Chains A and B, each alone.
Chain A
Amino acid sequence: MTNSLNDMRHAQSMIFIGSNAAEAHPVSMQHILHAKEVNNAPIIVVDPRYTKLAAKATEFVRIRPGTDCIFIMGLVNEILQKGWEDKEFIRTRVAGFPEMAEVATKYTPEEVEKVTGIPAAQTREVAEILAKNRPTSLTWCMGGTQHSIGSSITRAFCILQLVLGNMGKSGGGTNIFRGHDNVQGATDMCVLSHTLPAYYGLSDGAWKHWCRVWDVDYDYIKGRFKEKKWMNAKGFTLSRWYEGVLGEEKIEQYTPIKAMIQWGCGSNSNSQYNRVVKAYNKLELFVIVDPFPTMAAATCTTDNVYILPCSSQYETSGSVTSTSRQIQWRYKIVEPINGCRDDYTIMKDLVERLGFADEFYKNIKEVPEDITREINKGSLTIGYNGQTPERIKKHMDNWHTFDIETLEAKGGPCNGDYYGMPWPCWTEEHPGTPILYDVSKPVAKGGLPFRNRFGLEHKYSMSGRTEDMLAAKGVYNPGSEVKGGYPEFKDVVPGTNWKTDLSQKTIKEAISRGMAPFGNARARCVVWTFPDQIPIHREPLHTPRPDLIPEYPTYEDQPNQYRVFTKFKSEQNPDLAKDFPFVLTTGRMVEHMGAGAETRSNKYLCELQPDMYAEINPVVGNNMGVRDGEMIWIESPEGGKVKVKALFTERVDEKTIFMPFHFGGVLMGKSLAGEYPEGHAPYVVGEPANVCTNYGYDIVTQIQATKDGLCKISRA
């Protein structure tokens, strides 16, 4: 999130697209409903389903899955046509605007209606609500990202907020609600195959930076790799790692994957899950580290599988970053229960046995505090350097001193700090940045301009125009030495920049001059490194509207996307919709979490939601002669099928089937309850929805497209 949950209290309107906050982030509703009640802020919910969040909305917009981009670009177009854009904001802080506006003109309300099914009048109405109730807080979740054009969709969201001038303002912002409790922290630490911690990437410079932080020779780390080129090559992803095992798709790696460690990772979250199961059983070594046996334990039946019972996070300590970028400290509540070990102990044991503990733990004596300190030392890109373990604990101990409206401590030991020191927190005196890109505050007090990350000027390929990438004159944080745009800081310590100067002199110098270490630039509407420089609509790979493929075709196939051949064009088969007439989309329910290993081991939650089900419209059910509560088969084009209860509801329309994705322990009609370690099968088992989610991955990130596949249904 650029802002915070609490800051949403100040929104004058809110738009949620691909987010069901009432079920997925229930406590956030406290702040959302506050804005609704006190500011009279309209809530617009854009979703294929009438969700529990939609029940609290003032405007519900039913959208066809996978068409978010065109709807948002349609809103942008309507806003521009009516002259409602924030002209001054665009002039001074936005880059690539005319090029983007040119593309947006194609997306008239009528064109939006043709593709999304949203009436043209409603698009116009929503545009007007947003224009007349500023600032708008925009929220999206996986409903916006899990598409083959997910990266374009998210950029369209940002463009909408730029056009409305809602960035860097209290009550505005792009407020993505993250899923798991520490997905923000784990992302910041980049447990990701394409970058080192704090988004440094995989370049030689990045490796050298982290080797300095780790206090090991670059050559030592290089020697650990097969060859140097594999250091710079993105690895397999969580979405498609199993292709590296199965050998059914062409992979770009010198060896297949033979061993797998799944550490705190629910297994049935992968699309085409039945193929993942096949991969589990082909591994030479499979290690599951989890407090509860995941479905992986039940599906892998070879003798190559181990389960290590780690403790829960209540039995260890460490920091956790909320969706509002707040870093909070979990104190250890109790010692690990009988027989379990905490994550740090297991890691230490493993690293010692593998023989690189001396290098690995060079700076780490006190666990976990020394790890936090090492993170502070190296994670300069995101300003993770001011949140020392001592400060995080101080915030935790004094959480009652922070103001609900602003999250600023009023007096007390944390006086002036923002709760959790949301990054960037540039120094140990910095209060944290509660709202990103807010030029109304001094940088030292949590203000920030847009980052200068993409050069000083750019010539656009589509228009031939060259644009200065720095912010215009007159845009600066109070107290800034330069009264306008400026580039990022470098060579304060010769040969380094603000990201690589471990002495942090560069950062401190910038702050002392009232400036942001990363410069003061413009936010881009054009991303020249993406296949679609400006967001455009492309039909899902498996589309219920084959008539739209000629006009909105998908991308070319990608021979080496994260080491594996990834199909786009060759997978977009216009005939598929004849046999698979329904759109399959998935989502959360409030009672369960993720792959459900934890929550399905909780008797009270199981009592509330004991059954896997699929939501189908009563018209669909009655037409096929099945009754509410009866079992049906749902089948994907890939041959995955699940047997689930039909839940008749008008939440979904007549073209859409919805399944929650938390269930596991049953595979293609067969219960695996007996395959769990005895006495540790979850209280309830059910078919994983992801057996049916379709092939399809985002062009940039390879996120799986679970929200817009196709399926067919039949009586069981």
Chain B
Amino acid sequence: MGRMKFLCDVERCIDCSGCVVACKEGNHIPVGVNRRRVITIGSGQPGEKSISVSCMHCSDAPCIAVCPVDCIYQREDGIVLHNKDTCIGCGYCFMACPFGAPQFPTGQVFGARGAMDKCTFCAGGPAETFSAKEMKLYGQNRIAEGKVPLCAGMCATKSLLAGDSDEVADVYRERNFKRGSGANAWGWSKAYTKK
């Protein structure tokens, strides 16, 4: 059995932001906070590529290492979650993260950062499963329902894959086999040093 991973297939990403809005709408994320975003490289030029980025739920997650209040933890399946009740909003995780995933509330006076927010792989957080508190602080707990994360489930072109790494790799391998290109899954080498 593998662990949970995201993979964005850049050959398929069309920069439609379906993943971004699926996440925000489904998890009631305030405007200004982006658990996921789509980045376009070489916009308007031959070779233009887009990629959807969020927390990659790293194997050896730097955010966990740097958190001074130990509010970030990793589940057995690899999903990295955090406790907003404990979080002091210091922003160390943001500095440590190679993907710019941690988000902080915007529009407040300087210094009043509030608790960090980031992608939960649609696995809620350390509040009672399906409770109003969990929904408010972390969003849906779709993993507990046996459902896929919203971003990947709603991806227009099935560019964004999410789930068990073995299965993700199988889907991607099959695609690459069919299109005959090399496997250069974006972000994997950085995110997943170990399988």
19 residue pairs of the A-B complex, CB under 8 angstroms, read A22-B16, A26-B156, A27-B157, A29-B156, A29-B157, A30-B157, A30-B158, A33-B12, A37-B175, A40-B180, A52-B48, A52-B50, A55-B14, A55-B49, A60-B46, A604-B31, A607-B31, A608-B17, A651-B43
A672 in contact (CB, < 8 A): no
In the complex, which residues of chain A have a beta carbon less than 8 angstroms from the beta carbon of B49?
55
A590 and B16 form a contact (CB under 8 A): yes
Bound together, the chains give a CA A29 to CA B156 distance in angstroms of 8
Q: Are A52 and B14 in contact (CB under 8 A)?
A: yes
Return the CB mask of B8-28 against A: 1 if under 8 Å, else 0.
Answer: 000110111110110011000
Is the Cβ of A55 less than 8 Å from the Cβ of B48?
yes
Residues of A close to B17: CB separation below 8 A: 590-591, 608
For the residues of B in contact with A, the DSSP-based class is loop
Q: Which residues on the A side are within 8 Å of B107 (C-beta)?
A: none
With A603-B31, A651-B44 known as contacts, the answer to whether A26 contacts B157 (CB < 8 A) is yes
Q: Determine whether A405 belongs to the interface, using a CB cutoff of 8 Å to chain B.
A: no
Q: How far is the CA of A23 from the CA of B18 in the complex (A)?
A: 11
> Which A27-71 residues have a C-beta within 8 angstroms of B?
27, 29-30, 33, 36-38, 40, 50, 52-53, 55-56, 60
Report the bound CA distance from A33 to B24 in whole Å: 26
Contact B14 A29 (CB under 8 A): yes
Q: State whether B24 touches A604 (Cβ < 8 A).
A: yes
A residues near B178, Cβ cutoff 8 Å:
37-38
Check if B45 is an interface residue, CB within 8 A of chain A: yes
Chain A residues whose CB sits within 8 angstroms of the CB of B32 once the complex forms: 607
Q: Name 13 extra pairs, CB < 8 A, besides A22-B14, A38-B178, A40-B179.
A: A23-B14, A26-B156, A33-B11, A37-B11, A37-B175, A37-B179, A53-B14, A55-B14, A55-B49, A607-B31, A608-B17, A650-B44, A650-B45
Q: Which of A638-658 contact B (CB under 8 A)?
A: 649-651
Given A33-B157, A37-B179, answer yes or no on A26-B18 (Cβ-Cβ < 8 Å): yes
Interface positions of B (Cβ within 8 A of A): 11-12, 14-18, 20-21, 24-25, 31-32, 43-50, 156-158, 175, 178-180
**Chain B residue with the shortest CB-CB distance to A30:** B157
Measured between beta carbons, the chain B residues less than 8 angstroms from A607 are: 31-32
Is the C-beta of A605 less than 8 angstroms from some C-beta in chain B? yes
What size tier do the contact residues of chain A reach? Answer: 20 to 34
Top 10 A-B residue pairs of the complex, sorted by shortest distance between their CB atoms: A651-B44, A55-B48, A26-B16, A22-B14, A649-B44, A37-B179, A26-B156, A650-B44, A29-B157, A27-B156
| Chain A residues whose C-beta falls within 8 Å of the C-beta of B43 in the assembled complex | 649, 651
Q: Assess A52 versus B45: contact at CB under 8 Å? Given A29-B157, A38-B178.
A: no
Q: How far is the CB of A273 from chain B (nearest CB, A)?
A: 27
Q: In whole angstroms, how far apart are the Cα atoms of A33 and B179 in the complex?
A: 10
Cβ contact within 8 Å between B45 and A50: yes
Interface membership of chain A positions 305-342, coded 1 if the CB is closer than 8 angstroms to chain B and 0 otherwise: 00000000000000000000000000000000000000
User: Cα distance A151–B43 when bound, in Å?
Assistant: 33
On whether the beta carbons of B21 and A605 are closer than 8 Å, the reply is yes
Q: Which residues of A contact B14 (CB under 8 A)?
A: 22-23, 26, 29, 52-53, 55-56
- A26-B16, A52-B15 known; A608+B21 contact, CB < 8 A: yes
B50: chain A residues within 8 A (beta carbon) = 52, 55
- Which of B25, B46, B158, B175 lies in contact with A604, CB distance below 8 A? B25
Q: How far is the CA of A711 from the CA of B16 in the complex (A)?
A: 29
- The CA-CA distance from A23 to B16 in the complex, in Å, is 7
Nearest-neighbour CB distance to chain A for B40, whole angstroms, equals 8
Query: Which B residues touch A22, using CB under 8 A?
Result: 14-16
